[in-house]
Structure 1
Amino acid sequence: MNGNSHSEQILEQERASAFSGDGLYEAKPMTEVEHRAVVSAGNDLAKHAGGVWLLITGKLTSANSEPGTDSRLRDALLRVFGYPRPEGPDRRLRINLLLDSPGGSLDCAYAMALYLAAYTDHLKVFVPRKAKSASTLLALGGCELHMSAFGELGPLDTQVHDPRNPANHVSALDCYQSVDYVRKFGRTTMDELVNALITTTERKVSAGDLLDKASGFALGAVQPMLQGVSALDFGGWGRSLMIGERYTRKLLEAKKAEPDQQKVDSIANQLVYGYTHHLFPIDCHEARRIGLPEVGLPVKTMKKRVYQEATRVLELCRDKSFVGFLSRRESEHERKAAETVRHNGSLDSGRRRSEHAQGLALPVIG
């Protein structure tokens, strides 16, 4: 492995991503025809359900080379509502977020929750299908969580490069717990061996000699298991898990003036460390069981017609990424604002080309 590849892996780990890895959600952009079809169906949903509707689908990305999901949301909010009010969110503004995502960057999800909080303190999140992994973190930023009978959230354990094959990703929790299991295995092996030697030698051998023999045997048993793990790896896994835990606490603590800190800590710990594997489905019943309503995030069951119309919108997305408004007034405002930006951009580009051509023109001598 060359130095650049190792640096890229460290940077990827620093970004703390959490995604389901189910292979859905294409990276290629939606066509204009597909975009219009999604907005048209979204207009019907908004007309029936009422309110301002925003749609976010696809993997949550935060990239420097191209617009990430967080910057796309920021730009959409700016185009429709302008710069956030310095005195705080507009209490009259209520946004319904239709969310369907396999997850992605935890930093991106947390930033998006903050962007939305700058405009409204009444965000309802609707999950008809899946808001897994990092997108679960975004869902925690709402004041209400509406899930269908088929809706799923997911654990927030981060994904890191597999130490055995860096081309693949595994849960940092799996890595972390595997090392912890080896540690416990070594301790148990040593304890059992000491007790067996005491019985066998009838206490005729000193305790120091018994401990030396037992520890040597236990170390020989666990050392091969730990050869592929460095202290840097172990620390990185623990740190990446702490990122998801910290973001979860911050979002839940913001819901009440005096939050139940013990309950907040319990939920954050459960979402990061408390499930058997990364794809564990957290349905509406499990979301209530872990206590989300108790910290100010009531979990409600989606109405049948809302579920049907929301699912129709998502099916038209064809598992491609979408970030934008669906309600008629807001979607039209966003479309016109985007056209103005493109038009001004083309004028600026034409002006720059003209100035460049003038600068290259040969001077007239006469």
Structure 2
Amino acid sequence: MGDLYLYNGPIERGSDLKFIELVASQQSEKQCVLILVTGGGSPDAAYKIGRYLQSRYDSVKVLISGLCKSAGTLLAIAADELIFTPYGELGPLDVQMAKEDRLLGYESGLNISEAFLALEQRAKGTYHDLVSEIVTSSSNVVSFNTASHAATEIISALYGPIFHRIDPEEVGSRSRAMRIGEDYGQRLNGKWQNLKNGAIEKISQSYPSHGFVIDIGEAQTLFQRVRAATPDEIKLVEGMGRATRFPQQTLAIRKIEPAKKQGEDGENHDAKVEKGGPPRRRAAARNGADSGKAVEG
């Protein structure tokens, strides 16, 4: 399996440095598995962690054992393979932005795109309905141009106040923020090419909400290499409890040392076993010999 790490909590600047320092001090293999549980956070921090793991390991696998949203999905793009437990899920690659005039709370960067789309569809639908109704109700006495002009006036009166509230600078800022995820995703995908063609655009633009569930089946439409967790992997994450299921508010990162393997005869194969009996008895025999006492056994 290689080095095994747990990352649970927000992906933020500062947290990325803590995780990088952990990897730098604890790396012992050339492959790693990252158990990633997060509600999202900073795309900059996710990119930094992903690039660092790619630079240190020959293989990086991300084990999706619970909720892994937004910036977590971006970090998962850095892997050469994704592993899902039955309750693992990714989310759309959207940027969480602070709400205006709010001390606390974030909203999805997808909201502005959805709002524009809804307004556009509403305005178009209302315009076509009005033109058709005006022409039909007048028994074609009113020309199309006249009906179109009248419909335009009505649409302006209905939707004008809404569009006047839109700040172009805010729209531009949010559009740039949304592009960050796409650009970082393309760069993280460059090493192992695990994303399918067009997947980055689908992840960042086509899903309707931040909480949309991307389970293993949906992930297989987006990524080249996705598999279900093995029974041993499921047993491992279940043994760790809620830490592998639900994101925490405070950061929890650590390297996990897998339990030592036991042979069929029950002996620990990671320990040195010399001929002549169990290690504890031999140690006692040596101590007794050194002290001049007789040792049974």
TM-score range, shorter chain: 0.7 to 0.9
Name the amino acid aligned to 1:291: L
For the residue of structure 2 that corresponds to 1:103, the secondary structure is coil
For the residue of structure 2 that corresponds to 1:272, the secondary structure is helix
Aligned-pair distance for 1:264? 2.9
User: CA-to-partner distance for each residue in 1:37-86, whole Å, 9 max, x for gaps?
Assistant: xxxxxxxxxxxxx4211221111111xxxxx121112222332459xxxx
**Structure 1 residues 117-156: aligned runs within 5 Å:** 117-156=54-93
Is the CA contact 2:3–2:27 (under 8 Å) kept in the aligned structure 1?
no
Identity of aligned residues (%): 24
Which residue is 1:310 aligned to? 237
Which residue is 1:57 aligned to? 8
Is the CA contact 2:63–2:82 (under 8 Å) kept in the aligned structure 1?
yes
Of Structure 1 and Structure 2, the greater helix share is in 1
Which residue, 185, 191, 197 being the options, matches 1:264? 197
Distance 1:78 1:207, change over 3 A: same
**Structure 1 residues 1-366: aligned runs within 5 Å:** 50-62=1-13, 68-80=14-26, 93-162=30-99, 167-205=104-142, 207-256=144-193, 263-265=196-198, 267-288=199-220, 290-293=221-224, 298-313=225-240, 315=242, 319=248, 320-327=250-257
Aligned-pair distance for 1:220? 1.2
Which residue is 2:277 aligned to? none
Q: How many residues align?
A: 255
Across the aligned residues of Structure 1 and Structure 2, the Cα RMSD in angstroms comes to 2.7
Which residue is 2:290 aligned to? none
Q: TM-score, normalised by structure 1?
A: 0.63
Q: TM-score, normalised by structure 2?
A: 0.76
Q: Provide structure 1 residue ranges, at least 5 long, that are not aligned to the other structure.
A: 1-49, 63-67, 83-91, 329-366
Aligned-pair distance for 1:278? 1.2
Query: C-alpha distance in 1, partners of 2:19/2:103?
Result: 32
Poorly superposed stretches of 4+, deviation over 6 Å:
none
Is the CA contact 2:81–2:226 (under 8 Å) kept in the aligned structure 1?
yes
Aligned-pair distance for 1:200? 3.5
Aligned-pair distance for 1:182? 0.8
Is the CA contact 1:54–1:326 (under 8 Å) kept in the aligned structure 2?
yes
Is the CA contact 1:95–1:123 (under 8 Å) kept in the aligned structure 2?
yes
Aligned-pair distance for 1:166? 7.3
